[in-house]
A = this chain, B = another copy of it.
Amino acid sequence: MDSSEFRECAMATIDLIIDYLENIRNRNVLPSVEPGYLMKMLPEDAPEEPENWKTVLKDFNETVMPGITNWHSPQFHAYYPTGSSYASIIGSLLSDGIGVIGLTWMASPACTELEVITMNWLGKLLGLPEEFLNCSAGPGGGIIQGSASEATLVALLAAKDKMIRKLKQIDPDLNEDVAKAKLVAYTSDQCNSSVEKAGVLGSIKMRLLKSDQNGKLRGETLKRAFEEDTAQGLIPCYVVANLGTTGICSFDPLNELGPICQKYNAWLHVDAAYAGVAFICPEYRYLMKGVEYADSFDVNAHKWLLVNFDCSAMWVKDGYDLINAFDVQRIYLEDVNATVQIPDYRHWQMSLGRRFRSLKLWTVLKVHGAEGLRSYIRNQISLVQHFAKLVDSDERFIVEPEPCMGLACFRFRGGDKITKELLKSLTEKKKVFMVGCTYRSRYVIRFVICSRFTTKEDIETSWNIIKEEADQVCPTNISAKSQSISTLDHLETLTINEKSK
């Protein structure tokens, strides 16, 4: 493919993308394919001879496209959003076109420096304490990781290393292996699977502590766990607090957890993968009260900030904690230019190689501007409020817990069985995509505003599809019968709620 074919092909690809995104409402959110569909369509071997780009795009449309789940459809309400915007695609295109690897500063100065700068920009927009910023006097700073999973594991490994070094200072004869086996990590039972996995990968016992009735890990619970473990000779090492849990978007109180971590010298990592982006709006910062206790903080710009995956923004208070844990030198990687202000990012992450990912963060921040991004977040939150009102107006349903950020959960008053049935039929019809979770031992359906294209009308479309299916699963007369049960349920819930206060 020469440059003129590339130009032609790129133009056709851009048109394909625009056509796909701008007309995404014409597609079902879920594809109609069976497992193995593509194996049946594509040859068993790579082509021997080069193919024309027109064949490639044709094959893409005819074979790949039918197997796409449309994450940017306004009827995609599953998981959490994955970021996408025209600005981000441009940033990514620039990164691929220039095609550098940021092994060291010298391997591409702009790659290192733009990451420092954009991470300072974003950190300030979020209202993070200055200590986390590279532009502060101290050793703090930001880095782009590939995912929140990666950030959680990076922080965990740094925490282990730091704790072992601390213990060795106290006792130089310490048996490291024995000490490592005593380290314990903690998070809530509401954590994302990646937090639990970080414990598995990082060879550390990860205790999933019981959250309260509102899905929050409370200070009392953490304190008790620390006390139990230290009484048994174990060593609290690492705590992951969740700001915006995956299930119901609950927020752990950092101002309760922080002082306890500080007292025990345990590393406090904040996983704000989805909801953290909302802190660009000052009115939501109360939800991160106590963030000054954290050692590391992570938010996925690739979830709710219009940046395409992957761009997980992580800040640490002390970059040396990462460097001490990860630095492995080689003669061919010598670079005399590294300082904490101009970091050698390979020592801040697990892999050696790294893409020029800050370009897409940069293009998004510039093209949308801080004000544009704040409006975007506020609008998405208002949309979910609108949805919650619609659900609430239908006496068959109950919305709980309170909608938070871009998420509302709801269920039939009539119980788990029909709620599950509703979700199953909706998924089979492929017009709306949601997933379930449990809240206070009940099955609820999660409804998340995911697409950046979503309007009030789209919400009403989704709601109408849901309601229509609900009419099949739970006609009004059944609902009336079950309402008496649900009133009791509701009372019981309130009682438990009162108790937990």
Q: Which residues of A contact B (CB under 8 A)?
A: 1-3, 5-7, 9-11, 13-18, 20-22, 30-31, 33, 35-39, 42, 44-51, 53, 55-56, 59-60, 63-69, 71-72, 78-79, 82-90, 92-94, 96-101, 103, 105-111, 113-114, 116-118, 120-122, 124-125, 135, 146-150, 153, 157, 160, 177-178, 180-181, 192-194, 196-197, 200-203, 246-247, 308-310, 325-326, 328-334, 337, 339, 341-342, 350-353, 355, 359, 363, 365-372, 435-438, 446
A155 to chain B, nearest CB (A): 13
Find chain B residues with CB under 8 A from A146 CB: 146, 351
A248 to chain B, nearest CB (A): 11
Q: Which residue of B lies closest to A87 (CB)?
A: B1
Is B107 a contact of A17 with CB atoms below 8 Å? no
Is A100 a contact of B82 with CB atoms below 8 Å? yes
Is B157 a contact of A201 with CB atoms below 8 Å? yes
Q: How far is A84 from B37 in the complex, measured between Cα atoms in Å?
A: 30
A410 to chain B, nearest CB (A): 15
Our pick among B113, B309, B341 for the contact of A101 (Cβ within 8 Å) is B309
Q: How far is A370 from B364 in the complex, measured between Cα atoms in Å?
A: 38
Our pick among B31, B84, B90, B96 for the contact of A308 (Cβ within 8 Å) is B96
Q: How far is A180 from B16 in the complex, measured between Cα atoms in Å?
A: 52
Q: How many copies of the polypeptide does the oligomer hold?
A: 2
Is A14 a contact of B11 with CB atoms below 8 Å? yes
Is A21 a contact of B36 with CB atoms below 8 Å? no
Residue among A14, A148, A341 with the most chain B CB within 10 A? Answer: A14
Is A339 a contact of B86 with CB atoms below 8 Å? no
Our pick among B103, B105, B111, B435 for the contact of A35 (Cβ within 8 Å) is B105
Q: How far is A31 from B153 in the complex, measured between Cα atoms in Å?
A: 35
Q: Which residue of B lies closest to A1 (CB)?
A: B86
Q: How far is A121 from B438 in the complex, measured between Cα atoms in Å?
A: 42
Q: How far is A430 from B269 in the complex, measured between Cα atoms in Å?
A: 42
Our pick among B17, B325, B435 for the contact of A93 (Cβ within 8 Å) is B17
Q: How far is A6 from B372 in the complex, measured between Cα atoms in Å?
A: 17
Is B67 a contact of A110 with CB atoms below 8 Å? yes
Knowing A97-B16, A124-B45, the reply to whether A350 touches B197 (Cβ < 8 A) is yes
Knowing A87-B1, A328-B193, A342-B35, the reply to whether A103 touches B79 (Cβ < 8 A) is yes
Q: How far is A97 from B5 in the complex, measured between Cα atoms in Å?
A: 20
